[in-house]
Amino acid sequence: MPGRLGGRACVPAGTGMRRRNIAAAVGLIVCGLVYGYLAWGLPVRSLPNTPGPSFFPLVVTAILIALAAALLVQALATNDSAGTPTPDDAGTSAVDRRFGIFALAVLLGYIALLPILGFVLATAPFFAVLMVIYGERRPLLVVAGAVIMTVILYGLFRHAFGIFLPRGLLAGIVA
């Protein structure tokens, strides 16, 4: 099937994918070893000749490490002497990555503040920031959109669907 790769050709040369694959393989081997070590230390609670709680994790460890090693060998065997990122990787993607990391940081901040401030107080500024990130620059629309959507979502999930959302500082004020 076109596009289905599995051998050496699956590592597109000159795109930096080789380096990514090597990094991923090494990372996964390390993770596999740590996981296997932890699995080895699991309590043994089983009858003789029957698999205990550590059996399956140890099988997965073996599979994980074997596959990661295969990926490493495959990547090392790939003839990609440059291994340097193309403009696509280094140029546009760098900007994309910065945007992405910022958005994830905003999301992390929102999650951290959610139980403290409550849904309404945390969501409105989060929504506003995301609106700006996604390209809306008109202040009135940003504020109105953020407030209205927060109220709608809260009302919908809390009252129509009966889902308890964190009330935080507004506990006792909002229903």
Q: Of 40, 91, 111, 139, which one interacts with another protein (CB under 8 A)?
A: 111
Is there binding between residue 87 and another protein (CB under 8 A)?
A: no
User: Residue 31 or 172: which CB sits closer to another protein?
Assistant: 31
CB of 66 to another protein, least distance (A): 9
Touching another protein, residues 22-61 (CB under 8 A): 24, 28, 32, 35, 38-39, 42-43, 45-47, 49-57, 60-61
User: Residue 48 or 172: which CB sits closer to another protein?
Assistant: 48
Length of the chain, in residues: 175
Of 104, 86, 83, residue with least CA distance to 94:
86
Touching another protein, residues 137-166 (CB under 8 A): 145-146, 149-150, 153, 156-157, 160-166
Amino acid letter for position 91: G
Phi, psi of 135 (to 5 degrees): 110, -5
User: What tokens appear for 22 in the block?
Assistant: 């090597």
CB of 165 to another protein, least distance (A): 7
End-to-end CA distance of the chain: 57
**DSSP bridge pairs for 171:** 174
Separation CA 23–CA 71 (nearest Å): 10
CB of 52 to another protein, least distance (A): 7
